[in-house]
Structure 1
Amino acid sequence: MASLLRVRPRHCDAQAMVHAIRYYEFFEDAMLDWLDERGGYGRLREAGADLVIKASGCEHHAPARLDQVLTVETRPARVGTTSITMTFTLRHEDELVAVGTLVYVCVRDGGPVPLPAMLTAPA
């Protein structure tokens, strides 16, 4: 699944490059787009579940700059019983910008629970 986003001034530092912390916002937005394809975050919450981030990381390959349109490819890298590891690949045109990995744990009432079918079923 791919999302498009334009780099806005609020994403950038004084050199008009995306600040490192902003990539995590891009990953989160792409994750919400991925969830939308499966019924949405609201559907997950209606099922009594939520996702919390257990681990995150980002490898930076090239700077993203003001007004560029980035493509964010989102895919599950690993689906466990109570967690899902997502990979986010950001590109500007054909140039690799960054690769992020986030591990989400499905929780209910403060404890881990099995992933609902909407997260494990193919899109």
Structure 2
Amino acid sequence: MVAMQLRVIYGDTDQMGVVYYANYLRFFEASRNEFIRAKGLRYRDFEERYGLMLPVVEASVQYRQPARYDDLLTIEATLSEARRASARFDYRVLREGELLATGHTVHACVDPGGKVRRMPPELLARLGAGEPAGAA
């Protein structure tokens, strides 16, 4: 698990002063990038070194409590599953230890043409995933 902090800016909120629901996906992306960075890579390195991309093919958010303008949030990202050609990240959004939201994203591993590809074993090991759990 890798955690990062993010302060909610006014532009992240709706007219009611609550974080707009879709912005949680942006928060997830930021924490996923920090997860990859903590493993010694940047997402750009992933594309350049391996010639692969990880587009989101599934996303889910469960909202428990609202986050508001100027809240200091902690967003946790965990690589919960890595398969031959996909990966799942789980997320938790907290404010001072209070759980505000949970969610996940699933990513396909594809080449620049969009064809599904296997994740390189070196990459899986670097991300801490060990061996793939099964097909796609």
What is the TM-score with the length of structure 2 in the denominator? 0.85
1:74-85 to structure 2, matched below 5 A, reads 74-85=77-88
Aligned with residue 43 of structure 1, among 45, 50, 63? 45
1:86-120 deviation digits (Å, cap 9, x = unpaired): 00100001110101110011100211111233344
Alignment match, 1:7: 8
> What is the number of residues matched between the two proteins?
123
TM-superposition CA deviations, 1:18-55 (whole Å, max 9, x none): 01011011011111111212311121111101111110
User: What residue number does 1:27 align with?
Assistant: 28
Equivalent residues of 1:71, 1:90 under 8 A apart: yes
Task: Supply the AA of the counterpart residue of 1:44.
Answer: F
1:99 is aligned with what amino acid? T
Aligned match of 1:114: 118
* Partner SS state of residue 29, structure 1: helix
Unaligned runs of 5+ in 1: none
Q: Which runs of 4+ in 1 moved over 4 A?
A: none
| 2:57 counterpart of 1:54 | yes
Match of 2:134 in 1: none
TM-score w.r.t. length of structure 1: 0.94
Report which of the two has the higher share of strand.
1
SS of the equivalent of 2:47 reads helix
* Paired amino acid for 1:90: V
Letter matched to residue 26 of structure 1: F
Residue 78 of structure 1 aligns with an amino acid whose one-letter code is E
Unaligned segments of structure 2, at least 5 residues: 130-136
Provide the identity percentage: 28
Q: Distance in 2 between matches of 1:83 and 1:120?
A: 14
